[in-house]
């Protein structure tokens, strides 16, 4: 079976990429762009802040072992998803 696509290589810190940039610089650039996009989204809509707070609350419940989802709703949602995908 032949290879499909290309192989992606990862440069180690300090190694030069084919473009002549270092991997650390590219990572920093991407990180800064991602951080800027996250800040723009957070400032965009107040309901996003409420959703983020709810997600943090749920993460804390999961971490402490206190999260108990409604299994009927989970099963219903799963069946709906499977039916749509078939």
> What would the pLDDT profile of 72-83 be if each residue is shown by its tens digit?
999 999 999 999
Helices 23-44 and 46-64, interaxial angle, to 10°?
110
The pLDDT value recorded for residue 83 is 93
Contact 15, 23 (CB under 8 A): yes
| Residue 39 binned pLDDT confidence (cut-offs 50, 70, 90) | confident
Domain boundaries, the chain: 23-85
The pTM (predicted TM-score) of the whole model is 0.39
């Amino acid at each position: 079976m032949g290879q499909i696509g290309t192989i992606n290589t990862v440069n180690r810190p300090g190694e030069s990429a084919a473009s002549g940039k270092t991997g650390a610089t590219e990572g920093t650039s991407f990180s800064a762009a991602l951080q800027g996009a996250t800040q723009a989204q957070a400032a965009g809509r107040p309901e996003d802040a409420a959703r983020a707070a709810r997600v943090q609350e749920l993460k804390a419940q999961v971490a402490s072992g206190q999260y108990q989802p409604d299994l009927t709703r989970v099963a219903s949602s799963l069946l709906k998803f499977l039916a749509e995908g078939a």
